[in-house]
A and B are shown apart, each in its own frame.
Chain A
Amino acid sequence: AQSVAQPEDQVNVAEGNPLTVKCTYSVSGNPYLFWYVQYPNRGLQFLLKYITGDNLVKGSYGFEAEFNKSQTSFHLKKPSALVSDSALYFCGGEGSNDYKLSFGAGTTVTVRA
């Protein structure tokens, strides 16, 4: 069974500081990994995905994520966080022979001014 874990319920950072949101995965075959962001009363917005190729993936709004096969991780990063980055972030994954996304429980990011 595919599973994705986000070990931190909350991440708090000051504006301008680096932001990291952690994700680990357990999927069969080659994993397809995604990050989504959810604002209050909104659906999930796609940020970036890893399918194959470069381990460092760049996405929307200055976010990037690093795929690490040996650590089975796919951490989301932003070099300089903004207050507007405050939201709920979900990591999702699926196996290469699957189509169902499995999501982590989410990480609430708060960026203080």
Chain B
Amino acid sequence: GAGVSQSPRYKVAKRGQDVALRCDPISGHVSLFWYQQALGQGPEFLTYFQNEAQLDKSGLPSDRFFAERPEGSVSTLKIQRTQQEDSAVYLCASSIPQAGIYEQFFGPGTRLTVL
């Protein structure tokens, strides 16, 4: 595709509900990142994939957060038993051919609101 796409764009969840956020990176991009952007803040790193391998998940805030990229393209960020503090915009980014000096291309984000 022309850019990174994310779905849904908006998600409202009741506290305790599980949610799944999808990211479609730019075709051929090896690296994929997830970031969390709280209101009024800059994006914070969550996790990083190189192809299907999750090389870094140090930014995931708790074990309720889980990400996967089974075939090295589409990625899903899953949040179990959502809490109000999970409310944020979740951004996905991809880059080629490997992370580092190549700029990351960001999707529009998924705005998650937990009631």
By a beta-carbon cutoff of 8 Å, the part of chain A in contact with chain B is 4, 32, 34, 36, 41-46, 49, 51, 90, 92, 94, 96, 98-106
By a beta-carbon cutoff of 8 Å, the part of chain B in contact with chain A is 4, 31, 33, 40-45, 48, 56, 59, 91, 93, 99-101, 103-109
Contact between chains at A101 and B41 (CB < 8 Å): no
From B4, which residue of chain A is reached at the shortest CB distance? A43
Number of A-B contacts (CB under 8 A): 56
Contact between chains at A44 and B91 (CB < 8 Å): yes
Chain B contact residues: over half helix, strand or loop, or mixed? Answer: loop
Contact between chains at A101 and B40 (CB < 8 Å): no
Known: A43-B4, A44-B106, A101-B104. A106 touches B41 (CB 8 A): yes
From A90, which residue of chain B is reached at the shortest CB distance? B42
Contact between chains at B31 and A99 (CB < 8 Å): yes
From B107, which residue of chain A is reached at the shortest CB distance? A43
From B46, which residue of chain A is reached at the shortest CB distance? A100
Residues in B with CB closer than 8 Å to A49 are: 101, 103
